[in-house]
Amino acid sequence: MKLFYSPTSPYVRKVMTCAIAREIDRQIEKIPTNPHESPVALIAENPLSKVPCLVTEDGFALYDSPVICEYLDTVGEAPPLFPAAGAARWVALRHQAMGDGVLDAAVICRMEGQKPRDAARDAFIARQREVIARTVIVLDRDPLGKLLDIGTIAIACALGYLDFRLPDYDWRVSAPRLAAWFEPFAGERPFIETAPPG
């Protein structure tokens, strides 16, 4: 398998965390890619010019981290990260959506914050920060379990990205139970080995 990736992409981190958790990371050849430059090799596989983009062994390209993670869950013999059915499945998928939503908002804050500032842009960034803050509080009220699944991986990657790209936002103050859940997870191999550089 080949993975077009950027080392600072939180969505790539989510994919590689899943791959490591499933013990299939050595089956993936990582291709460093800057999607903002619309490289020919990436566009040939993904017209959206986004990372992550996974090319399977049979040459089929998959993009968007939820799709790639679900595919990786079918490779190898490790316990599944996507519960098959019942309440556990819906909880994991909801948590994945919450984690991805925090990532979406945080990436917007990061990108918009690098542009010239005006009142409209500041208001847009503030709205994204409110999305993040509300979601963090909801997660703190409903503590996550210790089970490693797609939901807990997505949320941990989102919290790690907040620390990496929005260091001025101390989410731990408003979410102490979430912080207590995050700390041991952050010390696990899949999370340590996918940490962004710097």
Digit-coded pLDDT (tens) for 17-63? 999 999 999 999 999 999 999 999 999 999 999 999 999 999 999 99
- CA dist., res. 169 & res. 171, Å (int): 6
Q: For residue 3, report the phi and psi dihedrals to the nearest 5 degrees.
A: -125, 115
CATH of 2-72, one of 3.10.20.740, 3.30.465.10, 3.40.30.10, 3.30.930.10: 3.40.30.10
Output the pLDDT for position 147: 86
Within the chain, residue ranges assigned H as helices are 10-21, 40-45, 65-72, 86-113, 119-141, 150-165, 171-174, 176-186, 189-192
Q: Which long-range contacts (CB under 8 A, 24 or more apart) does 63-69 make?
A: 64/11, 65/11, 65/12, 65/14, 65/15, 65/100, 66/96, 66/100, 66/150, 68/15, 69/14, 69/15, 69/18, 69/150, 69/153
Report domain extents, the chain. 2-72, 86-188
Q: Tell me the pLDDT tens digit for each residue of 63-113.
A: 999 999 999 999 999 999 999 999 999 999 999 999 999 999 999 999 999
CATH of span 86-188: 1.20.1050.10
